[in-house]
């Protein structure tokens, strides 16, 4: 039977009976150790920060990651191998060391700038898919101040262990990793996916339009006021961003 293919926000869903394959991807360019890279970083850092974006998106949907696909626009030696080592380190830190990794590198042309694309495939039962579960009356919180570029490299950012702790809380309706489009855009996407509206708090000490780069922020929709609980779960700054309503 051919799977039913749909999309939800940035995710692609392949529905096969009661099982759903969740697919997420992310790309990186001009960050690395090559001559023309605009932000200098090791290949290891590039691998770790790029894989974590689709990995967290898949896991936030409730899916268990199955396969990592890397499309590297660099040569295998030494750049590609360094990036892949970073991917493996991030998976190990997430408790996912045994996941299959496949991909390709550029061996025909000399490259002077780093380019990376990563796709993550995960699987989840339809009944436990964690998409569109937010509802009117939920508080929307942000964990982690948005950062991009060089600011990311020396900062504490959300990680997979934190995501797992959030997934374990029954009072959390939905979790949404934030990327380059910023907090306000993603909060509105969270609301739209649940068929409700989002109201932004008036006095926020955080830039809701700033890119959050490789998931330097996470949105959480909670069933009640949980600022103190979220602060206990994480060392990151916590902001009450707004509320969902009809």
- The DSSP secondary structure of 55-124, one letter per residue, reads HHHHHHTTPEEEEEEEEESS-IIIIIHHHHHHHHHHHHHTT-TTSEEEEE---SS--SS-EEEEEEEEEE
- Residue 2: its pLDDT value, please? 86
In 3-state terms, what secondary structure has residue 4?
A: strand
- Predicted TM-score (pTM) of the model is 0.95
- Residue 154: its pLDDT value, please? 81
- Residue 150: its pLDDT value, please? 85
Alpha-carbon distance 101 to 39, whole Å? 26
pLDDT tens digit string along 126-163?
999 999 999 999 999 999 999 988 889 888 999 999 99
In 3-state terms, what secondary structure has residue 21?
A: strand
- Residue 149: its pLDDT value, please? 84
What residues in the chain have per-residue pLDDT under 50?
none
- Residue 153: its pLDDT value, please? 84
The residue among 148, 163, 159, 90 whose CA lies nearest residue 120 is 90
Domains and CATH numbers, the chain: 4-128 (3.30.1330.10), 139-245 (3.90.650.10)
Tokens 């969270």 correspond to 190
- Residue 62: its pLDDT value, please? 97
């Amino acid at each position: 039977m051919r799977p039913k293919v749909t999309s939800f926000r940035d995710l692609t869903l392949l529905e096969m009976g009661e099982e759903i394959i969740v697919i997420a991807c992310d790309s990186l360019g001009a960050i690395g150790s090559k001559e023309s890279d605009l932000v200098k970083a090791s290949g290891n850092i590039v691998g770790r920060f790029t894989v974590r974006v689709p990995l967290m998106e898949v896991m936030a949907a409730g899916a268990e990651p199955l396969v990592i696909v890397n499309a590297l626009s660099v040569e295998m030696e030494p750049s590609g191998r360094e990036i892949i080592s970073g991917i493996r380190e991030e998976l190990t830190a997430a408790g996912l060391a045994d996941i299959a990794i496949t991909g390709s590198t550029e061996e025909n042309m000399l490259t002077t700038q780093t380019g990376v694309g990563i796709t993550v495939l995960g699987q989840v039962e339809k009944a436990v898919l964690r998409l569109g579960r937010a509802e009117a009356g939920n508080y929307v919180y942000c964990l982690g101040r948005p950062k991009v570029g060089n600011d990311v490299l020396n900062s504490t950012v959300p990680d997979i262990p934190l995501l797992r702790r959030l997934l374990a809380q029954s009072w959390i309706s939905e979790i949404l990793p934030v990327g380059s489009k910023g907090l306000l855009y993603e909060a509105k996407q969270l609301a739209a996916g649940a068929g409700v509206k989002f109201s932004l708090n008036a006095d926020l000490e955080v830039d809701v339009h700033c890119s959050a780069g490789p998931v330097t922020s996470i949105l959480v929709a909670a069933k009640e006021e949980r600022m103190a609980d979220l602060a206990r779960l994480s060392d990151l700054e916590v902001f009450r961003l707004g509320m969902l309503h009809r």
